[in-house]
Structure 1
Amino acid sequence: MSASYQALPYQPFVGLLDLSGKTAVVTGGGSGIGFAVSQRLAEAGANVLIGSLAPERSEELVKAGFAVSFQATDVSRPAEIQRLLDTAVERYGRVDIWINNAGVYPLKPIDDIDEGFWDGLHVINTRAVFLGAQAAQRQMRKQASAGAIVNLSSICGHRPMANHCTYDASKGAVLAMTRSLAKDLSAFNIRVNSVSPGLTATPGNLEPELLEQHRQNNVLHNIALGRPAEPYEIANAVLFLVSPLSSYVTGVDLLVDGGWLLHGS
């Protein structure tokens, strides 16, 4: 290798977070972490299509002047995932970024988990992630251009918590799927990574039942930084993984947990 070897031209810092001209699709982008991700990507200049069952907050971004649109999407229905991809192409001409964020977080003790509960959770948390990535990569390959896919996993994919068996399994599957997709799609210059949030101050996590679960698991005591994440702090990690800043990053999971995993329990 010669001393002058350079695979890509040097890019000045000012453009490393610029997503102008890119189209991003965010499932579950109407609330919580998904909304924060949609906002960050829009702020970076991307055209954003939110696919969600919760449209109310997407209108905030439209009113703020961002190129954001909404489509009601139930990711448990494969046809609606494909329709979301097709809509992005119809409206914006391409898809460069796909964020698999939609997910559910029901908890049950082992003896209360039946087939319907198990399958219903995995249809959304696992199968929909694969189908979203599958649809996105087909379009990205058709465009013959680089692409970025980010899957939302969880700290629960790394460490167990009480009554989390079904959920933990789904998020562990997302971690394994991300690595496999990254390997398969690297030949097409499509990068696939995941983000694993720790406890985040979303409306769902502030519900009394979940707050009690967190209290029983002594969660705040176990977080090194001593507080939950703000949704935008998770969105910052997603922005890094879809931007030119991470052009040589694929197949990794970015744990954004405030040092929770350092505690080890």
Structure 2
Amino acid sequence: MSDAPSYRALPHVPFADLLDFSGKTAVVTGGGEGIGLAIARRFAEAGSRVVVGDLHPGRCGELAAEGFDVRHVPTDVTEHDQIEGLLDAAVAMHGRIDVFVNNAGIYPLRAVEEIDAAFWDHMFAVNCKAMFFGAQAASRRMKAHGQGGAIVNLSSICGHKPMPNHCAYDASKGAVLAMTRNLALALAPHGIRVNSVSPGLTATPGNLKPELFRQLQDSGVLDNIPLRRQAEPFEIASTVLFLASPMASYVTGTDLMVDGGWFLHGI
């Protein structure tokens, strides 16, 4: 009898189950507002139990009021013990972590000559360092559970193309892309998939402030987006849900740009 390994096909997943997260637990950082809130809603709508780690609850209460199982744990992602506390709380509540979404981030802008060490360090502390240690801590719990999992990191179109006054931000989001690929390679043997999403211009509360929106119109940014509009937060959230779902079961180490074609126009 041959000792050679034989091919083993994975079981077919019915289409109706591909986006069913019933019985799953998703942890979303920065889920109180904007894209993070939309991500929390998408997972809740798919049947997941959702734990939001954010400094403030934001609008999480709205989701709970609608009957979704969404809970808030106060979390400063730059504090390692608070990331650990968030994940411990999620396991204590639900017994497992199936999905970890690294969404928390900051977006301050400065010209190159105005960037100092404190500004640079804070940008990377939130946008990169916190993401790595969040993924590390989440993967440790996924390994212990033994059923794999999915990690989705939020990068940005700015990680792919330079933007004026974005040097520190662009660098932090470019680092997320490299980190995602490395984590995907390291965690694949444990059945943990790691991918990233790069949103383009998105209609978050900050971007909808009248003065900023006027600047966007006047600068011609919208004219450089082939779809001629900003993304809605739920469009970013839907992509995150896809990457975490069985629909993307053979996808890892990949970044999906959700930018309305903006990248096609170059800088």
Give the alignment's TM-score, normalised by structure 1.
0.96
Partner of 2:139: 137
Q: What SS does the corresponding residue of 2:56 show, helix, strand or coil?
A: coil
The answer as to whether partners of 1:100 and 1:132 remain within 8 angstroms in 2 is yes
Q: CA deviation at 1:96?
A: 0.6
Corresponding residue of 1:241: 243
C-alpha spacing 1:233/1:203, structure 2 compared with 1 (3 Å): same
1:117 is paired with a residue of what secondary structure? helix
Q: CA deviation at 1:218?
A: 2.7
Aligned to 1:95: 97
- Which one of 207, 229, 232 corresponds to residue 230 of structure 1? 232
- Which position in structure 2 is the counterpart of 1:169? 171
SS in 1 for 2:207: helix
Compared CA separation, residues 110 and 213, structure 1 to 2 (3 A)? farther
Contact preservation (8 Å) 1:197, 1:257: yes
1:59 aligns with 2:83: no
CA contact (8 A) 1:121 1:167 kept: yes
- Residue 182 of structure 1 aligns with an amino acid whose one-letter code is A
Aligned residues of 1:24 and 1:95 also touching (Cα < 8 A) = yes
Q: TM-score, normalised by structure 2?
A: 0.95
1:254 shift after superposition? 0.6
C-alpha distance in structure 2 between counterparts of 1:160 and 1:81, whole Å: 31
Q: What residue number does 1:155 align with?
A: 157
Equivalent of residue 19 in structure 2, options 1, 17, 20: 17
Partner of 2:52 in structure 1?
Answer: 50
Distance 1:256 1:224, change over 3 A: same
Supply the distance in 2 between the matched residues of 1:110 and 1:212 (Cα, whole angstroms): 24
Alignment match, 2:3: none
Instruction: State how far apart, in whole Å, the 2-side matches of 1:90 and 1:42 are.
Output: 19
User: SS of the counterpart of 1:205?
Assistant: coil
The equivalent of 2:28 in structure 1 is 26
Q: Give the corresponding residue for 2:209.
A: 207
**Structure 2 partner of 1:82:** 84
Aligned residues: 262
Consecutive aligned runs of 4 or more in structure 1 exceeding 6 Å deviation: none
Correspondence for 1:72: 74
Q: Partner of 1:139: helix, strand, or coil?
A: helix
User: How many angstroms does 1:181 deviate by?
Assistant: 0.1
Shift of 1:11: 1.1
CA deviations 1:60-89 (Å, max 9, x no partner) are: 111111111001111111111110000000
Identity %: 61
Deviation at 1:213, TM superposition (A): 5.7
Which residue number in structure 2 is paired with residue 36 of structure 1? 38
Q: Is the contact made by 1:162 and 1:217 (CA closer than 8 Å) also made in structure 2? A: no
In structure 1, distance between residues paired with 2:211 and 2:113: 19
Q: Are 1:262 and 2:264 counterparts?
A: yes
Q: Provide the residue aligned with 2:183 in structure 1.
A: 181
Letter in 2 for 1:100: N
Q: In 2 relative to 1, CA 210–127 (structure 1 residues): closer, same or farther, beyond 3 Å?
A: farther
CA deviation after TM superposition for structure 1 residue 212, in Å: 6.0
Structural RMSD (CA): 1.4
Runs (5+) with no aligned partner, structure 2 = 1-5
